[in-house]
Structure 1
Amino acid sequence: MTAEAVLIETTWTEVCPVDALAREQGVAVLLPDGTQVAVFRTHDDALYAVSNVDPFSGAAVLSRGIVGDIGATPVVASPMHKQHFDLRTGVCLEDADVSVATYPVCVCDATILLGQP
Structure 2
Amino acid sequence: MTLALETTDLKVRLRLDDGWFTVCDLSTLIPGRGVAALLPDGRQVAVFADRAGRLHAIDNRDPFTGAAVLSRGLTGTHQGRPFVASPLLKQRFDLESGRCLDDETVRVTAYEVEAA
Q: Tell me the TM-score range normalised by the shorter chain.
A: 0.7 to 0.9
Count how many residue pairs are aligned between Structure 1 and Structure 2. Answer: 101
Aligned equivalents of 2:103, 2:93: Cα separation in 1: 9
**Candidates 85, 88, 94, aligned match of 1:77:** 85
Deviations 1:3-30 (A, max 9, x none): xxxxx96422222221221001110010
Task: Say whether 1:15 aligns with 2:19.
Answer: no
1:29 and 2:37 correspond: yes
The yes-or-no answer on 1:92 pairing with 2:103 is: no
- TM (norm. structure 1) is 0.81
- CA RMSD of the aligned region, Å? 1.4
Q: Which structure carries more relative contact order (alpha carbon 8 Å, separation 6+)?
A: 1
Task: Tell me the SS of whatever aligns to 1:76.
Answer: strand
Give the 3-state SS of the residue equivalent to 2:89 in structure 1. Answer: coil
In structure 1, what residue type is equivalent to 2:19?
T
Determine the structure 2 residue equivalent to 1:45.
Answer: 53
Task: Give the corresponding residue for 2:66.
Answer: 58
The SS at the match of 2:87 is coil
Output the CA distance in 2 between the equivalents of 1:80 and 1:11: 33
Q: Distance between the aligned counterparts of 2:20 and 2:75, measured in 1?
A: 24
Structure 2 length normalisation: TM-score?
Answer: 0.82
**Structure 2 gap segments, 5+ residues each:** 1-15
Q: How far, CA to CA, are the matches of 1:17 and 1:35 in structure 2? A: 19
Which of 92-101 and 8-17 deviates more?
8-17
